[in-house]
A = this chain, B = another copy of it.
C-alpha cells in the first residue's frame, strides 16, 4: 500500500472540482502532489490549491488518480491518455456509466474489483437514492420504484446557482429576468429537468436514474420510473421515493435498517413534523432520510423522503470515496 498519492483534477475550477479540493483537505487524503487542470480560459489562474495547468499528456505523467469533473466530451477525449499514464480515472461525467464500474462505495464497493482503469461516478440523484434503496434491497428485493425529484440549481454548475440568486433578486425588484444558463426562469418557479429529451418521453436525467440504479443494484430489469424537476434551491436535491417490494416490508424494520445504513442519517421528528430539508443537507456528507411510512395504496410498498447535498455526496464526495475505497482495497 502506497503511503501517498499523486492526484490530478480535470475541471478543477467548477462546482464539483472546487468541492473535491476542499474534501481532499478535509478528509486528509494522503496527497503527495496535486495537479489542477482546466479548460484554456482558466489555465494560469492561481488558486489556493495551485496554478491551473492545461489538460495535456505532460500534466498527467506520474499521477495515481485523476478525478474527472468535466462533461462527457472531455472525459472521453482524455480517458485514454489518463489510463495510459497509469492513473485510475474516476469520472463524474456520464461517459462511462453504462460500460464501466459504476460505484457508490456504501452500496456496491465490490464492483471496483478488476476495474480497467476507469470508474464512473453515478448521477447525483441516483447516488442519493441508492443509498436508501441498497440496504433495503439486500433484505427484501425491490420490485418497482417511482421517484419524483426536487433538484437544486447546483446540478447545472456554479453559473446556474449564480443565475438563480441574481434572477430572484430581479424578480423581487419587479423585473422580468432573462435566463441564460437555464432555458427557463427558476426564481419562484420550477420546471421539468432541462436535460435533453429522449424518444421514450423521459429526459436523460430520468433515464440515468433508471439505468444507473439497475446497474448499481445489479438488477438489470428493475422497474423504475422517474420524474426529475428543477426547483429554486441552491445545492441539495430532495426525492420522494415510492418503493414496492415483492413482500410487505414492516416500516419499523425498514427504519432500523436505514438508521444504521452507511452514508445515511435518519431525520424524523414526527411530533414536530420535522423531516429533511435542503437547508439541512447543504454542505453535509450524509444523505438525510425520513418520513418512512407504509404506502396506503399497496401493502408491499413504502414511501420515503430523502435529501442530500448534490455537489458533495451527489458528486465530489462519492468520487473521493471511490479513491479511498480503492486505496483501502489495495
A227 and B148 contacting across the interface, CB-CB below 8 Å: yes
Contact A279 B185 (CB under 8 A): yes
CB <8 Å contact, B150 and A190: yes
**A144: which B residues are within 8 A, CB to CB?**
297-298
Q: Tell me whether A146 and B297 are in contact in the complex, defined as CB-CB below 8 angstroms, given that A172-B165, A172-B168, A190-B277 are known contacts.
A: yes
Name the distance in Å between A135's Cβ and chain B's nearest Cβ.
20
Q: A192-B291, A275-B192, A279-B185 are in contact. Are A297 and B224 (CB under 8 A)?
A: yes
CA distance A144 to B238 in the complex (A): 24
Q: Which residue of B lies closest to A239 (CB)?
A: B148
Q: Which residues of B lie under 8 Å from residue A231 when comparing CB positions? A: 150, 190, 231-232
Q: Is the CB of A296 within 8 A of B227?
A: no
A201 / chain B contacts, CB cutoff of 8 Å: 251, 270, 291-294, 303
Complex CA–CA separation, A150 to B228 (angstroms): 12
Give A194 to B274 CA distance when docked, in angstroms. 9
Kindly identify which residue among B145, B172, B223 contacts A172, using a CB–CB cutoff of 8 Å: B172
Contact B296 A146 (CB under 8 A): no
A197 adjacent to chain B (CB < 8 Å)? yes
| Distance to closest chain B CB from A172 (angstroms) | 5
A233 lies within 8 A of B190 (CB): yes
Most B CB contacts (10 A, CB to CB) among A210, A225, A231, A303 go to: A225
Question: A200 an interface residue at 8 Å Cβ cutoff?
Answer: yes
Q: A240 in the interface, Cβ–Cβ < 8 Å?
A: yes
A301 CB–B CB distance under 8 Å: yes
Which residues in chain A, 274-327, are within 8 Å of chain B measured between CB atoms? Answer: 274-275, 277-279, 291-298, 301, 303, 305
Closest 3 CB pairs of A and B: A201-B293, A148-B148, A223-B297
**17 A-B interface contacts by CB (under 8 A):** A146-B297, A148-B227, A168-B188, A169-B172, A185-B279, A188-B233, A194-B273, A201-B270, A201-B303, A202-B293, A225-B295, A225-B296, A225-B301, A225-B303, A227-B240, A229-B238, A231-B232
Residues of A with Cβ closer than 8 Å to B? 144-146, 148, 150, 164-165, 168-169, 172, 183-185, 188-192, 194, 196-197, 200-203, 210, 223-225, 227, 229, 231-234, 238, 240, 242, 251, 270-275, 277-279, 291-298, 301, 303, 305
